[in-house]
Amino acid sequence: MSDGDRPVESTSRVIPLRGRTARRRIAPLITPGDVARRLAALERQVEAALGTDRMARAVPALETALDQVLGAYVGGREWLAREAGGLATTVVGEMSLAALYRWWWRVDVVGRERLPQGRMLVVGNRGSALLPYEALMASVGLGTNGSRRVQPFVDEWLMALPLVGTALGALGARAVSPSRIRRVLAAGEGALVFPEGRDAVARPYRESYRVGRLARTALLRLAIETGAPIVPVAIIGVDEVHPVVARAPLPWLASALGVPALPITPTLVPLPTKWTLFVGDPLDVASRHQATDARRPDVVRTLAAQVRERLQGLVSDGLRRRRSIFF
């Protein structure tokens, strides 16, 4: 047999089976004692990490961080109030109010000599616009006689609006409050209020210059308490600044921002209407009522009816005397 005819030998190896398999070593189970010792060691490590020394250092650090965060927040609000508040005292702020007063709305005051010296409660008709232009303009117009100062008071929800409240406060407006008005009257100054309140906002133009119910009778009660004379002032020209074609009561807006209603108006920029302030004869409250009458609701209601009648008559007379809306 030749070499080529020989079968090829297999190279595979046969591994014989052992008679007994090798015993595998199993790690011993952790005993309860080991578990307790390891937990105790971990507890000691946690106690060391949160020990009194480290906690004593961590608590002031945490307080410092919180103080810095809160300080930054308060500082930001103070900065915004300071920057906006500077408008009222800088030349820019004064020129802005003066420009609106003299050149945009060209405000005239008729009967300024009727304003009494000393304290007084000035009652004006509220415009239908969302922003209280009449409060700022009447404050400027009635406070230009010598050293007389008339502090304008506006609705609380206006002062709570973001940015709007800051700007109004910078221009001298304050949120209406019996305590604030009482302090102004006690200082011998004038307080400008709008007792119609929220109902006048977004009033349709077909109802313009109709003095509504004086909802804020508490303001008139202050005049009885302090004996301050009540001066009605009719503001003509304010209801055409943003003529309201419809009133949109939005409950979600009222609940979120306190806005009573949204005026639907075709004008975004206030129109340059011609304004005239008509000052009426003061109502001598001190000679008619005692200070204790402020606690009598019937007396307050009667006084509110008298003030509303005088203010409406003054507004109607001013409309008759007006030549044009813009001239």
What CATH number does the domain containing 228 carry? 3.40.1130
Please tell me the least confidently modeled range out of 161-170, 235-244, 274-283: 161-170
DSSP state of 248: E
- Say whether both 308 and 185 belong to one domain: yes
Q: Which residues constitute the domain of residue 66? A: 49-82
Q: How high is the pLDDT of residue 14?
A: 46
pLDDT bucket at 20, cuts 50 / 70 / 90:
very low
Percent of the chain scoring above 70 in pLDDT? 69
Q: Is residue 229 in a domain?
A: yes
Amino acid code (one letter) for 53: D
Report yes or no on 235 lying in a domain. yes
Q: Verify that 67 and 190 share a domain, yes or no.
A: no
Residue 167 falls inside a structural domain: yes
- Tell whether the model's pLDDT for residue 153 goes beyond 80: yes
Domain count of the chain? 2
pLDDT digits (tens, 9 = 90+) for 33-59: 665 566 555 545 544 544 444 444 444
The answer to whether residue 326 is domain-embedded is no
Check whether residue 100 and residue 75 sit in a common domain.
no
In this structure, the number of other CB atoms found within 10 A of the CB of residue 98 comes to 12
Asked if the structure places residue 44 within a domain, the reply is: no
Q: What is the pLDDT averaged over residues 242-259?
A: 85
Structural domain includes residue 5: no
66 & 158 share domain: no
- Can you read off the two tokens belonging to residue 255? 């609940």
Residue 252 has what pLDDT?
80
> Does residue 268 carry a pLDDT above 50?
yes
Determine the distance from the C-alpha atom of residue 8 to the mean position of all C-alpha atoms in its chain, rounded to a whole number.
Answer: 102
Contact residues for 241 (Cβ-Cβ < 8 A; gap 6+): 105, 127, 129, 133, 267, 270, 271, 273
- Answer yes or no: is 87 within a domain: no
Do residues 292 and 228 share a domain? yes
Q: Do 78 and 96 belong together in one domain?
A: no
Last residue of a domain, one of 59, 82, 105: 82
Residues 140 and 262 in one domain: yes
pLDDT at residue 100, rounded to an integer: 93
Tell me the pLDDT tens digit for each residue of 113-152. Answer: 999 989 999 999 999 999 999 999 999 999 865 556 799 9
Is 50 exceeded by the pLDDT of residue 174? yes
232 within 8 A of 189, measured Cβ to Cβ? no
Write out pLDDT tens, residues 191-213.
999 999 988 999 999 999 999 99
Mean pLDDT score, 238-265: 88
- The answer on 64 and 155 residing in a single domain is no
In a domain, 39, yes or no: no
Of the residues 27, 62, 82, the one at which a domain ends: 82
Tell me what pLDDT residue 97 has: 81
Pick from 263, 157, 267, 155: which is nearest to 207 by CA?
Answer: 263
Q: How far is CA 246 from CA 197, 198, 263, in A?
A: 19, 16, 6
- 191, 315: one domain: yes
Among 60, 82, 104, residue at a domain's last position: 82
Q: Do 59 and 129 belong to one domain?
A: no
Mean pLDDT estimate for the chain = 80
The 10s digit of each residue's pLDDT in 63-110 is 454 345 444 434 444 444 444 444 444 555 567 888 999 999 999 999
Helix, strand, or coil (residue 164): helix
pTM: 0.72
Q: Say if residue 58 is in the same domain as residue 103.
A: no
Q: Say whether both 72 and 187 belong to one domain.
A: no
* pLDDT at 80 (0 to 100): 42
